[in-house]
Amino acid sequence: MTVLPIRKYGDPVLRCPTERVEVIDDELQKLIDDMVDTMYAAPGVGLAANQIGVSRRLMVIDLSVGKRPGELHVCINPEIVATEGEVREEEGCLSVPDFVEEIKRPERVKLRYRDRHGNDREMWGQGLMARAMCHETDHLNGTLYVDHLRGLKRDRIVKKISKLAKSGMW
């Protein structure tokens, strides 16, 4: 089991769009396993590769946080191809720890991706799964959930993070 450090808000790797995965090999399988271990240890329901400093278009999601076998989704080169509805709910992020805000996201999302074996897949998600799919895809595009906030809410979080960073606690 390899648990890797999660990059936090302010790290430039979180702002760069990731590169497509072209080859599914043993190295990628190890990266996937390390990402899953890191996500479960955090604990979190999703993790994008750039959150551990790897600029690859790869994400993992497991709403059960490892408690229910078969619920882990490994998504290589994910792409949101359809959305339906809209819902506003609380959202947090492993790269912005200890902050939660209401974010507007689609209620349902259709994702196209490759699984860890290279098989083409499509999956509809709704509720928390749709939110996780959007959140992790945003990461792969260099966007953080705080970027969906405006005005005082966003300024408050950025100011608190800046203060924590100056004190060495970030």
* 117 within some domain: yes
Residue type at position 146: V
Q: Is 79 noted as a catalytic residue in this protein?
A: no
Q: What is the CATH number of the domain that holds 77?
A: 3.90.45.10
H-helix or E-strand spanning residue 151: helix 151-166
Alpha-carbon distances of 66 from 46, 62, 74, rounded to whole Å = 11, 7, 13
* 109 within some domain: yes
Count up the domains in the chain and report the number: 1
Alpha-carbon distances of 111 from 7, 60, 64, 91, rounded to whole Å = 25, 13, 19, 20
Indicate which residue of 22, 89, 90, 136 is catalytic: 136
Phi, psi for residue 161 in degrees, rounded to 5 = -65, -40
Positive or negative torsion for Cα 72, 38, 142, 18:
negative
* 2 within some domain: no
Residue 111, beta-bridge partner list: 80, 123
* 7 within some domain: no
Residue span of the structural domain in which 147 resides:
12-166
DSSP class of 56: B
Rounded (5°) CA angle 40-41-46: 40
pLDDT string in tens for the chain (170-residue length): 799 999 999 999 999 999 999 999 999 999 999 999 999 999 999 999 999 999 999 999 999 999 998 999 999 999 999 999 999 999 999 999 999 999 999 999 999 999 999 999 999 999 999 999 999 999 999 999 999 998 888 899 989 988 888 888 88
Rounded (5°) CA angle 40-44-49: 85
* 1 within some domain: no
The reported pLDDT for the residue numbered 164 is 87
The reported pLDDT for the residue numbered 52 is 98
The tokens of 12 are what? 């430039």
